[in-house]
Structure 1
Amino acid sequence: MRMRSATEDDRAMARALANMRYAACTSDDLDFLRSRVVNSSPHAPKLNDVRFRDVSIITAWNAEKDVFNELGCQRFAHDTNQELVSFYSCDVLAPADSPSNKKKRRRPKKKGNKSTYGIPERTQASIWAALPCFTGHVAGRLDLCKGMPVMIRSNIATELCMTKGQEAVVYDWVASQGDQKQRILDVLFVKLVNPPKTIKIDGLEENVVPLSKQMERVECLLRNDSTIVVERHQVPVLLNFAMTDYAAQGKTRPNNVVNLTHSKTHQAYYTALSRSSSAEGTAIVSSFTPSKITSGLDVQLKREFRNLELLNEITRLRYESVLPDEVLGDTRNSIIKSYLDWRGKGYEMPGLHSALRWAETESASDEFEVPFGRQKWQFASKEGAVAEPGTVAGVKRRQSNGVADGRSAKVSRPAIGETVVTTALRTPAPLGYEWDDQNWSCPYDSLFTILRAVWVGDPARWTPYFKSISPVATELASHWAAHLQGSMAWAETRDAARKSLHEQNPAAFPVGMKPASVSELASAVLTRAPLATRERKCVSCGDMSHRTLALSQCNTLYTTNLLRGRSREMFNTSDWLTEILKGTARAVRCTKCKSQTSPVVHTHCIPDLLCLDRQSAPLVISPHLTYDGCTMLLRGIVYWGENHFTCRVVDATGMVHRHDGIVDGDRCVQETSLDRVDPITLGSVPSSGTGERQAVLLLYEKTNRGTL
């Protein structure tokens, strides 16, 4: 609050705001706030007063804001004896996100007046009628007249004060006719209200600036709860008879009308009311809930406010050169603890708000024993789990002999066995399949969840590839496309492919409460097409042995020959692939002359998808495989244990998600990013019981990003 006067009411409001900041308002504060509620009392503020007539109402909900704006524009037109002019957006169905579609964006031919670039007339009318809060705050219809208050919704030109949140009034416009004969805005001229500086553009009055229409990709929510994504061309403004408390931040308003009905916390109350520059200019629409501003702070927020006040005091004393040298520290908590130790027990900081003072049962210095930023932490996985003292829960010590992919790492990576609690933004999780308890489905759930995450990342690439490898893969790609179009239920995409597999091989793929092998399933979906073959040539007699399979698309890991006669060093899947394809495995003797033979490997191709069966050789799982300039990225792992299959999925952004059809249903739970994973921890995953499930199947995708 920036007060411009000092009446008794202004001082009462300043006290109320100071207490409201800490949710510690007194009965006097509540009495004052009630005096600013709009009602029929002679001394209460009235919304029909001239000073409040066209003031934007601060409210909590976007839907409320949009309704206030609708009512406000009708009243404004009536008050000024003008007619509202409706301007509509130009909407085009947004193309798919694939690169090929982005390069070939063409408008479909119009057929009469049945659609606007593919949008049916009825749907288009529904989109135009939707409130801006349902269309990404880009208006489908703007009802305007001259002098009407508006707010700019985009950072167009900061040097001309045309920024998001800048208030203005309509000055004039240039309009034209759209493809459906609707009126559209080409340019809207607005006059800025209280800009930071005076703006003068040649040919226009002071503070008058032009706003042209922009294209925004908008997800529109329709009345039936379905969504449609369009490319909307519209001038980036909204009516300004109301704004949210979020948009009001940073503004100082001589006349401040607020609606606190749906404000959730004392911070929201404070944000809205502290915009006022005077008590007389404050009006509260309807009533408010006193408990939200009188119940006090929670412990952590109280501590944060108190720490900030202590840091201010320390900074002031240091600036004034009165802080002794013994008060020092390299972190926030350590320097505060040093300061409190210097002040002594029972220190009360002058000017500290009563709501922030330590209780009699609290010790001022105890909360600062651990330096800020160095607290012990652990992954949040199971309720009641406690990390061992001095360790980070869930992180396993790296093997001393190392792993090729992790040797250069200089920092410890968190294990992904458990969920990391973080405030970081999350990427959308892939879809998973819910377990069918009548027809046991866990092998299908696990493998199909991984394959679908691969396919959905680039359907234009993977659909032809799936068609080339097997009939089952072809069917899966077709079902997933149908699901995206809304013509097939999610569970049916799995069940239909499973039915086809059962018809082909009832013994391997039974129905009912019978188990199936995920290795057999992978072989049926991905096939065992030969990718590399091996021959052995005798260095003495030149005899060539029969050609044998060295690598297939769905391959089983065997390491007996690789490790025979060698130390039991830690191998990983990257080492294994190099040994197989380069033919560097230990040679065997010729069957004729008993001389050494030299292995010769013929590599036919590296597939777009490579599946490795890990059951026979528990090698460390490499996040990336590299051979002859080709890089393959880990996209999924299937785990087995306690008679149940689960999986981990790596999405296109590199985020790792876990999925258990019994526990998680059709959700995949995000864990961490692949580049932060210790490869050793990928080999197992905690089960719902007391043991672990072991990785049995790995899926890698060939990328064009080079060596990682």
Structure 2
Amino acid sequence: MAIVSTLKRKAEEDLNSEEPKSKKIRASFGPTPEIPVGILWDSVNYSCSYDSLFTILCEIWIYNPKSWTKTFYSFGNQGKILSEGYKKVIRGLETLENVRNDVHESLKQENSDLFPYGQTGTDIRDLISYIFTSHHNISLGYRRLTCNICDFFQDLDNPPERVMSILDGTYKSINEWLQQWLMEPSICDCGSPMATSRIYDQPPSLLVFSLNTSRVSISKTIRIKGSNGKFTVLPLRGIIYSGGFHFTSRIITPGKEVWYHDGMVTRRNCIKKGHLTDFTGDSLKICIEKNSSGELVERQAVVAIYSKK
């Protein structure tokens, strides 16, 4: 009890602190502050997409609850439910499973076709798109077509967002694809090279990639150029895998430890798999782990999440 009380007191201090510490200390949900906490799979309402995403987001949020609560609020109603729910879990007033269920219920009320109950399940791509994209009417930046030779420019629709879909497998890595996406080359009517620039007004705190090709490797960091011309580096914080009608995840801590979670098999536990330096960009694309029957199953990466520390 003394350990739990100490952790709860640490969490309260972190929630009320105005300035983040120079070295982040995890405010744990349990008596082991160095180990991420997973979410138990719901066998009635297949929940693996929610379990995978919300376990990663929980591990991101918990290192700086005050700052991330503000960010989660910008995601709309579901982000607010998540952050307020995480606060209750830290204080011992709620479980992560109930928080997940509250978000699922909110999503179902808004779109029962995409987020049903029962064994139909929810596609992870629908989940990340709905939670993170701009249907909340928050502009993150602008998209501009520019030619420096004839001084032509035009602002375009579809500004940059938090979720990007990678369809083209000609690029070696997520970061290589991102750099091309941020400054996409083309040819002006005057015959000169021009580019479509996607510029974030503020350095994004979190970016999510939907991977629709297995050929692009998982970058360990990504770089984003802001409107001030400076680059922001975001480290990899989570990967979601798909295979066998099931989603699982790897969680990467600020210290670059890699943990594995499967709400059906590992339940609330996360299993340490090593350090990020033990993995290559290609090996991160594949996750081979035992399923509930004890058989090894190979799953492909379908989502990669990057965030500030």
**TM-fit CA distance, 1:507:** 0.6
Q: Is the 8 A contact 2:142 2:155 kept in 1?
A: no
Q: How does 1:114-513 map to 2 (within 5 A)?
A: 428-513=34-119
* 1:598 aligned onto 2:194: yes
Contact 1:611 1:699 (C-alpha < 8 Å) held by counterparts: yes
Shift of 1:633: 1.1
Does the alignment pair 1:576 with 2:177? yes
Say yes or no: does 1:613 pair with 2:210: yes
Aligned to 2:227: none
Contact 2:82/2:99 (8 A) holds in 1: yes
How far, CA to CA, are the matches of 1:502 and 1:99 in structure 2?
A: 32
Following superposition, the deviation at residue 460 of structure 1 comes to 1.9
Offset at residue 654 of structure 1 (A): 2.0
Q: Does 1 or 2 have the higher relative contact order (CA < 8 Å, sep 6+)? A: 2
Q: 1:450 to 1:516 in 2, by over 3 A?
A: same
The match for 1:644 is: 246
Name the SS for the 2:160 alignment partner: strand
Q: Deviations over 1:576-615 (max 9, x none)?
A: 222222x1x3x3344xx47345014233222111111112
Aligned-partner residue type, residue 621 of structure 1: I
Match of 2:261 in 1: 659
Shift of 1:574: 1.7
Q: Helix, strand or coil: the match of 1:521? A: helix
- Report 1:12-51 matches (<5 A): none
**Identity of counterpart residues, as a percentage?**
26
Secondary structure, aligned partner of 1:658: strand
**Aligned-partner Cα distance in 2 for 1:100–1:632:** 23
Query: 1:702 is matched with which residue?
Result: 308
TM-score normalised by length of structure 1: 0.37
Contact 1:446/1:647 (8 A) holds in 2 = yes
Unaligned runs of at least 5 residues, structure 1: 1-91, 105-226, 230-425, 561-567, 704-708
Amino acid at match of 1:677: F
Task: Note the C-alpha offset of 1:540.
Answer: 6.8
Q: CA deviation at 1:438?
A: 0.9
1:514 aligns with 2:115: no
Match of 1:674 among 264, 269, 276: 276
Distance in 1 between residues matched to 2:59 and 2:72, nearest whole Å = 13
Q: Which has the higher strand share?
A: 2
Letter of the 2:70 counterpart: P
Give the corresponding residue for 1:157.
none
Equivalent residue for 1:553, pick from 140, 162, 166: 162
AA paired with 2:209? L
When residues 537 and 631 of structure 1 are mapped into structure 2, their CA distance, relative to the original with a 3 A threshold, is closer
Counterparts in 2 of 1:447 and 1:543: CA distance versus 1, 3 Å? same
2:186 pairs with one of 588, 595, 607? 588
Q: Is the 8 A contact 2:221 2:233 kept in 1?
A: yes
How far, CA to CA, are the matches of 1:429 and 1:503 in structure 2? 34
8 Å contact kept, 2:14–2:66:
no
Give 1:489 deviation, angstroms.
2.7
- Aligned pair 1:625/2:231, yes or no? no
Deviation at 1:535? 2.8
Q: Number of matched residues?
A: 280
Per the normalisation by structure 2, the TM-score is 0.80
What amino acid sits opposite 1:573 in the alignment? I
Tell me, what secondary structure is at the counterpart of 1:551?
A: coil
CA distance in 1, matches of 2:74, 2:140: 15
Q: Deviations over 1:3-25 (max 9, x none)?
A: xxxxxxxxxxxxxxxxxxxxxxx
What letter is aligned with 1:553? R
Cα 1:429/1:532, change in 2 over 3 Å: same
Structure 2 spans left out of the alignment, 5+ residues:
20-29, 225-229
The alpha-carbon distance between structure 1 residues 656 and 427, as it changes in their structure 2 partners (threshold 3 A), is: farther
User: How far off its partner does 1:480 sit?
Assistant: 1.3
Alignment CA distance shift 1:530-1:554 (3 Å)? farther
CA contact (8 A) 2:172 2:215 kept: no
User: Take 1:629 and 1:588, find their aligned partners in 2: how far apart are those partners?
Assistant: 23
Cα distance in 1, alignment partners of residues 215 and 140 from structure 2: 23
Counterpart residue identity of residue 554, structure 1: V
Distance 2:151 2:17 in 1: 57
Alpha-carbon distance, 1:673 to partner: 1.4
Task: Report the equivalent of 1:311.
Answer: none
Quote the Cα distance in structure 2 between the aligned partners of 1:693 and 1:616: 13
Deviations 1:545-601 (A, max 9, x none): 5514353112212437xxxxxxx5x521122222222x1x3x3344xx473450142
Which protein shows a greater Rg? Answer: 1
Q: 1:324-381, CA deviations, whole angstroms, 9 ceiling, x for partnerless residues? A: xxxxxxxxxxxxxxxxxxxxxxxxxxxxxxxxxxxxxxxxxxxxxxxxxxxxxxxxxx
Distance 1:558 1:684, change over 3 A: same
Give per-residue Cα distances to partners, 1:84-141, cap 9 Å, x unaligned: xxxxxxxx9784265686899xxxxxxxxxxxxxxxxxxxxxxxxxxxxxxxxxxxxx
Structure 1 residue 531: Cα displacement: 3.5
CA RMSD, aligned part only?
Answer: 3.0
Q: What corresponds to 2:26 in structure 1?
A: none
Residue of 96, 107, 132 corresponding to 2:10: 96
